[in-house]
Amino acid sequence: SLTQKLNDIFKKLRGKGKLSEADVKQAMKEVRLALLEADVNFKVVKDLISKITERAIGQEVMESLTPAQQVIKIVNEELTSLMGSTQSKVDFSKEITIIMLVGLQGSGKTTTAGKLGKLLSKNGKKPLLVAADIYRPAAITQLKIVGEKVGLPVFTMGQQDPVDISKASVDYAKKHNHDVVIIDTAGRLHVDDDLMNELVNISHAVDPSEILLVVDSMTGQDAVNVAEEFNNRLQLTGLILTKLDGDSRGGAALSVKAVTGCPIKYVGMGEKLDDLEIFHPERMASRILGMGDVLTLIEKATADFDLKKAQELEDKLKTQSFDLNDFKDQLSQVKKMGSLDQILNMIPGFSQQKLKGVEIDDKELSRVEAIINSMTLEERSNPSIINGSRRKRIAAGSGTAIQDVNRLLKQYAQTKKMIKQFAGSDKSRKRSKQKL
């Protein structure tokens, strides 16, 4: 992945101590290649590399005590500014915020309509979802199902004119005290005039606060091209990049703002209706550089359970005082936030690691709970005393097999080891920061 490659390049640089101009140029050559392989737009790469190089071979860097760190800092800053520097907010200034979601078929509009509705209702809004993709009856049904899952009403008028549906939905929203209207429009496999005309007509009819293009990040530069085409016809106010969970390259995320001028406002990080995040350029840059994204992690934690629990989680991670009770507690907390590897990816130093055997589903979770419930308090706080005969007793008591108990203890040991590593990498990061 891009992160892996950049890390390798920076590792080499770090090993060098003092850097010559040639060292920096060589590293930049490699960064350039890594970005091109990650499907970042070539012109964007060219500009980026010349900016980074110019800054990196400046006096301050070359003469500093930690030139490699300085170079990485510059790369981080330039990647951040490439993606827009600061968070681009949705315009909620009007009495009713009308958001049109547009994009090609399969890009994730309908799913994103539900995700966005859910996210906004968590923030106290009252969204109405609108089914304006009339060409396939299944599309209307799909939005209804999504609406039901997120607990939001869906406005439908069957297969009538999408412009009429959109206008009527706004009247309905006014009458029923909705302050956000999210319009799920039709897509095509390719950009065509019919589609564009329809979208332009809807936009003239309802004068939306936001026209957000939903694009599939896994399509790389195609996503960027699609964004350009849509932006030429519609006044896009922003982008939603979906399927970023499946995109190890990052080309679309890195180039689309620079090429189109449209900021990314949200990113889709999975198929579940909780998997939509506000886009923060500096956090994305850190993720790409393998520095993790602790802020988003902590925000997720605080959104999904109370602050105290999140604080506890953080403290446990820091102090490494982590027994089987905590293990059980964390498994269920982590489950609430999303998949375990998704969570761990946000922790610095974890991004590179494969997490085998730590996959948790609901069934597994109740088995784990049963097993831990069958342990004595002493066993829970000091798992190392759990020998063969204790394992047998615990298995019998929890109605599981000895293998299940063994697996649990192994997972616990693995998790504990990872937490230790995390705490270690956190410390070394602090140390290197002090050196700067």
Binding site for Mg ion (CB under 5 A): 109-110, 139
Taking CB within 5 to 8 Å according to partner kind, which of ligand GDP, Mg ion, none is near residue 263?
none
Q: What minimum distance in Å lies between the beta carbon of 105 and ligand GDP?
A: 5
**Total residues at the site for ligand GDP (CB under 6 A)?**
19
The reply on whether position 103 binds ligand GDP by CB under 6 A is yes
Residue number, 198 or 404, with CB nearest to ligand GDP: 198
Residue 339 within binding range of ligand GDP, rule CB under 6 A: no
Which residues from 239-278 bind ligand GDP, rule CB under 6 A?
242-243, 245-246, 268-271, 275
Question: What are 381's two structure tokens?
Answer: 């706080």
> Taking the CB of residue 287, how many other CB atoms lie within 10 A of it?
21
CB of 306 to ligand GDP, least distance (A): 27
Among 25, 106, 221, 229, binds ligand GDP (CB under 6 A): 106
The single-letter code of the amino acid at 392 is K
Select 7 or 105, whichever has its Cβ closest to ligand GDP: 105
Q: Is 103 or 349 the residue whose CB approaches Mg ion more closely? A: 103
Query: In the complex, what is the shortest distance from the CB of residue 137 to ligand GDP, in angstroms, rounded to a whole number?
Result: 14
Q: How far is the CB of 38 from ligand GDP (least distance, A)?
A: 18
Q: In sequence order, which residues have a C-beta less than 8 Å from that of residue 213 and are 6 or more positions away?
A: 102, 103, 226, 227, 230, 231, 234, 236, 238, 239, 240, 262
Taking CB atoms, the residue at the shortest distance from ligand GDP is: 268
Q: How far apart are CA 223 and CA 167, in angstroms?
A: 29
Closest CA to 47 of 78, 70, 7, 23: 78
The answer to whether 296 contacts ligand GDP (rule: CB under 6 A) is no
Residues 165-204 within binding reach of ligand GDP (CB under 6 A): 187
Please say which residue, 41 or 107, places its beta carbon nearer to ligand GDP. Answer: 107
Q: Does 219 bind ligand GDP (CB under 6 A)?
A: no
Piece of the chain touching ligand GDP by CB under 6 A; list 72-80, 166-174, 228-236, 237-245: 237-245
| 111/333 with CB nearer ligand GDP | 111
Find the helix or strand (DSSP H, E) in which 183 lies. strand 180-185
From residue 397, give the alpha-carbon distance in Å to each of 108, 373, 386: 47, 9, 14
* In the complex, minimum distance from the CB of residue 35 to ligand GDP, in angstroms, rounded to a whole number: 23
Cβ proximity to ligand GDP, 128 vs 418, nearer residue: 128
Residue 397's binding partner among Mg ion, ligand GDP, none (Cβ under 5 to 8 angstroms by kind) is: none
- Asked if residue 118 binds ligand GDP (CB under 6 A), the reply is no
- CA 373, CA 366: separation in Å to the nearest integer? 10
Q: Given the complex with ligand GDP, which of 220 and 270 has the nearer CB atom?
A: 270
Contact with ligand GDP (CB under 6 A) among 110, 203, 398, 400: 110
User: 276 and 115 in contact (C-beta within 8 Å)?
Assistant: yes
Establish if 300 lies at the interface with ligand GDP (CB under 6 A): no
Q: Are 178 and 146 in contact (CB under 8 A)?
A: no
Q: Which is nearer to Mg ion, 139 or 264 (CB)?
A: 139
Cα–Cα distance measured from residue 345 to residue 348, given in angstroms and rounded to the nearest whole number: 8
User: Any contact of residue 127 with ligand GDP (CB under 6 A)?
Assistant: no
State the DSSP H helix or E strand holding residue 97, giving kind and residue range, or none if neither: strand 97-102
Residue type, 239: L
The contact mask relative to ligand GDP for 46-85 (x = CB under 6 A, - = no) is ----------------------------------------
**Residues engaged in binding ligand GDP (CB under 6 A):** 103, 105-111, 187, 214, 242-243, 245-246, 268-271, 275
